[in-house]
Structure 1
Amino acid sequence: MDPNFAPYIAVAMIFVLMALGTPVFAALALSGAAGIIMVEDLHFLMTRLKSISYSTTAVYTLTIIPLFILMGSFAQHAEVGKKLFDVASRWVGHLPGGLAMASILTSAGFAATSGSSVATAATVGSVAIPEMKKAGYAGSLSAGAVAAGGVLGVLIPPSVLLIFYAALTETSAGKMLIAGFLPGLLTMFVFMVGIYIIARRGPARAAVSPRASWGVAVRETRKAWQVAVLFLVVMGGIYLGLVTPTEAGALGAFVAFLMLLSHRPSWPGMMGRIVESFRSTIDTTVMILFTMVGAAIFSYFLTLIQVPNQLAQAVVQSGLDPYLIVAMLLLVLVPLGMFLDAFSMMAITIPIMFPAVQSLGFDPIWFGILTVKMCEIGLITPPVGLNVYVIAGIDRETPLPEVFKGAFWFVLMEIVTIAILFAFPAIITWLPRVMSS
């Protein structure tokens, strides 16, 4: 078959298979395999399949993924999220929309112990939504704030998605993790300012908590010591060069395990919590690795017919402004994010986009953070906004459309944040550069 037609048929197969309910990793693998057969033959495909799955997953960097997930699961069972919300509400609960702001602060803090967006949203939502409802917040604001706060879990290190990008592009995992810190804080700040503006005109304006004195707020902050310890152990160790990212993940998981064992309220049913932590870690890790294998097969097909090279060459010869080209590539991720999860979306697009971005001379870390930010939007936009469905499952009193309505304001805030990061790349690249020096 003419190689020029093969990619169109393969891409069409992906969407047809997904429409039929096929898992994304299987749709990618089957479409890639069909494409390889179209341009070569079955024997060629079988020869390559012998090594693709091993070479894709037997990567030392990927051992960080289950370690970070396990660390977050242990921290969740140790009720770190509840303690964080108590601390955050002491500091900002007296402001208009203060409890919603507290949920954003809690999400940022818990994200520093977990690499998962869904885990962050579920943990914070189970604690913060009942308190906001009790205070008289509108369901759309309370649910939307927690759903949006959950996206910080894929940006603030340790982030599994940042590790996934590093593995796909062979970028330094340590630098990718460090690079997510300042953009994460910027996102948190923009969210809190946005909540303050929204709450000043709504029922949340009067739904405020009594203002705590400085002394009480400072004393309560000591409850957040677990987050500080985990963040210093993991990110401090990586930044100072004391441990590799993998060693930091193992150390963080062990420290979180000790915190769970020392948490007395968790002693009844402790073994069940530990087993559940390992089970959820295995489930998530296997899902990620299968996605990588499926993407590797499809990427090999694209490389075989030189699609990435052709795209990179076309981009360089287009004569368009390089920043405009990157902006157009990022915009492609918006409609994809409405139908695909972040891992699948990144697995499909990065092998095609990354060579083009490299050919333009852009920093891969800068592009990686912007890509993750675009994935964040997909987590809170219909019809597949995963965080929104998680929160709708927790807050059954608020209809799903209302949750999406509340999350829409945060989509606008995400656009503002992405524009700032796009215009000022140093916010992303400064810490990795200092780390190198």
Structure 2
Amino acid sequence: MDASIAPLISVALIILLMLFGVPVFATLALAGAAGIILVEDFAFLMTRLKSLPYSTTAVYTLVIIPLFILMGAFAHHAEIGRKLFGVASKWVGHLPGGLAMSSILTSAGFAATSGSSVATAATVGSVALPEMKKAGYDPALSSGAVAAGGVLGVLIPPSVLLIFYAALTETSAGKMLIAGLVPGLLTTLIFMGGIYVIASRGSSRGAVTERAGWGEAIAGTGQAWQVLVLFLVVMGGIYLGIMTPTEAGALGAFAAFLMLLAHPGARRSGLFGKVAESFRTTIDTTVMILFTMIGAGIFSYFLTLIQLPNQIAQAAVDSGLPPLVVIACFLLVFVPLGMFLDAFSMMVIAIPIMYPTVQSLGFDPIWFGILTVKMCEIGLITPPVGLNCYVIAGIDRETPLSVVFRGALWFVVMEVVTISILFFFPSVITWLPNLMAAGN
């Protein structure tokens, strides 16, 4: 069959299968397999399937993913999120929207122990939402803040999504993780500034807590020592070149396990059950990611077979459009994708097609990777498949899903502001990884 028709049939098959509710990994695998058969034949497909699933997932870098997920699960059961919220509320709880700001700070802190957006939203939401409801916060603001705060889990290292991008593009995992730090802090500050503006003009302006003294706030900060330890163990070891990212992930997971063992509440409520649940969550999430990679690997092989990524790259170079306009168009593609797909699925579909063009135009792959993750963040808080919003609606049954999405839209605007800064000032992303490279 003509190689120009095969991708159209394959894409149509993806849309059809997704309409019937077929899982994303199976959709990609079937569409890719169908495309390979159309271009070659069934025997060729069977030959490739003997080795393709193994070669796609047997990547040393991917070992980091279950380690980071396990570290976050242990940290969750050690109730690190609850301690962080108490510390944050002492510092900013007295400001307009202070408890919502505290949820953002808590999300940023917990993100430093967990690489998952959904886990961050669930952990912080279970602690922060009851407190904001008690203080009389606008439900849209409180639920939207927690849902948006969860996206920091895929940006602030250690981040599973950053590792996923590094594996897809064969970029340095250590540099990708380090590169997420400054954009993560910038996002945190913009979220907090936006909350202050919204709360100062809305019904939540009077919903503040009693101001803690400087001494009390400083003394209370010591309760967040676990986050600092985990962050220094993982990111400090990577930045200084003492450990590889995989070794740092293993040490971080072990440190979080010791914190769980030392937590009195975990021992009272059944330590073995907490540990077993942590391993079960890690296995479930890791298997989901690897199966998605296998399906994407089959589809990506089909695209490579017909040389579609190279053709798009050549067309972009020959188009005469400014390179930044090409990259901006690529990033905008993630908006409709985010309405129907999760972050991992978006990446495995888009990155193999876009990355050759990014390389041919001479852009830094780390810069593009952070921008890609930022665009995936928007998908996590926008309808109809905003996973973080569904998580928050599940935690707070009294707040309708529509209200959660309405509150999250404020933060979509803030995300656009942050992405614009990172897009036009790449050094905000690249200077720390460059320092790391110079130091090592």
Normalising to structure 1: TM-score of the pair? Answer: 1.00
1:291-310 → structure 2 map (5 Å cutoff) = 291-310=292-311
Q: Deviations over 1:256-304 (max 9, x none)?
A: 0000000011102110000000000000000000000000000000000
Partner of 1:317: 318
Paired AA for residue 10 in structure 2: A
| CA deviation after TM superposition for structure 1 residue 375, in Å | 0.1
Match of 2:267 in 1: 267
Code of the aligned partner of 1:391: I
Give the C-alpha shift of residue 399 in structure 1.
Answer: 0.6
Query: Aligned pair 1:132/2:140, yes or no?
Result: no
Determine the C-alpha separation between the residues in 1 that align with 2:4 and 2:423.
Answer: 34
SS in 1 for 2:241: coil
Match of 2:65 in 1: 65
In the alignment, structure 1 residue 227 sits paired with structure 2 residue 224: no
- Secondary structure of the residue aligned to 1:340 is coil
Secondary structure of the structure 2 residue equivalent to 1:200: helix
Cα shift at 1:201: 1.1
Match of 1:217 in 2: 217
SS at match of 2:50: helix
- Give me the whole-angstrom Cα distance separating, in 2, the residues matched to 1:64 and 1:11: 32
Aligned to 2:396: 395
State the SS of the aligned residue for 1:346: helix
- Amino acid of the residue matched to residue 281 of structure 2? S
Structure 1 match to 2:99: 99
Amino acid at match of 1:359: S
Deviation for aligned residue 1:155: 0.1
- CA deviations 1:313-335 (Å, max 9, x no partner) are 00000000000100000000001
* Residue 413 (structure 2) aligns with: 412
Give the Cα separation in 1 of the matches to 2:265 and 2:314: 60
Look up the SS of the partner of 2:201 in the other structure: coil
Per the TM alignment, residue 157 of structure 1 is displaced from its structure 2 partner at its CA by: 0.1
Q: State the Cα distance separating 1:44 from its structure 2 match.
A: 0.3
Separation (CA, whole Å) in 1 of partners of 2:92 and 2:422: 26
3-state DSSP of counterpart to 1:397: coil
Matched to 2:164, the amino acid is F
Deviation at 1:15, TM superposition (A): 1.1
**Is 1:423 paired with 2:413?**
no
What letter is aligned with 2:258?
L
- Identical counterparts, % of pairs: 77
Tell me the amino acid that sits aligned with residue 278 of structure 1: F
Equivalenced residue count is: 437
Q: How far has the Cα of 1:215 moved from its partner?
A: 0.4
Q: Does 1:203 align with 2:197?
A: no
State the 4+ residue runs in structure 1 displaced beyond 4 angstroms. none
**What is the aligned partner in structure 2 of residue 33 from structure 1?**
33
- 1:354-394 C-alpha deviation (Å, 9 max, x unpaired): 00111000000000000000000000000000000000000
Q: Please state how far the C-alpha of 1:12 moved relative to its aligned partner.
A: 0.9
Q: CA deviation at 1:4?
A: 0.6
Q: Which letter maps to 1:216?
A: E
**Counterparts of 2:191 and 2:9 in 1: how far apart (Å)?**
42
Where does residue 172 of structure 1 map in the other structure? 172
Distance, in Å, in 2 between the alignment partners of 1:3 and 1:143 is 48
Q: Which residue of 2 aligns with 1:120?
A: 120
Corresponding residue of 1:141: 141
Q: Deviations over 1:108-167 (max 9, x none)?
A: 000000000000000000000000000000111100000000000000000000000000
Q: What corresponds to 2:157 in structure 1?
A: 157
Aligned to 1:193: 193
Q: Secondary structure at the match of 1:204?
A: coil
**Alpha-carbon distance in 2 for matches of 1:397, 1:143:** 11
Partner residue, 1:359: 360
The amino acid across from 1:436 in the alignment is A
CA-atom RMSD in angstroms? 0.4
Cα displacement (A) at 1:349: 0.3
Q: Deviations over 1:33-54 (max 9, x none)?
A: 0000000000000000011011
How far does the alpha carbon of each residue in 1:68-96 deviate from its partner, in whole angstroms, 9 at most, with x for none?
Answer: 00000000000000000000000000000
1:380 matched to 2:344: no
- 1:236 counterpart = 2:236: yes
Q: CA deviation at 1:312?
A: 0.4
Give the corresponding residue for 2:253: 253
Unmatched runs of 5 consecutive residues or more in structure 1: none
Give, in whole Å, the separation in 2 of the partners of 1:204 and 1:285.
Answer: 40
Shift of 1:415: 0.2
Q: In 1, Cα distance between the equivalents of 2:12 and 2:176? A: 33
Q: Secondary structure at the match of 1:409?
A: helix
**Residues of 1 paired with 2:203 and 2:34: CA distance?**
56
- 1:79 corresponds in structure 2 to 79
Deviation at 1:203, TM superposition (A): 1.9
> Following the alignment from structure 1 to structure 2, what is the Cα–Cα distance between the partners of residues 316 and 201?
48
Shift of 1:204: 1.3
Partner of 1:368: 369
Gaps of at least 5 residues in structure 2 are none
Matches of 1:388 and 1:317 in 2, distance apart?
Answer: 41
Deviation at 1:184, TM superposition (A): 0.1
Letter in 2 for 1:347: V
Distance 2:266 2:294 in 1: 37
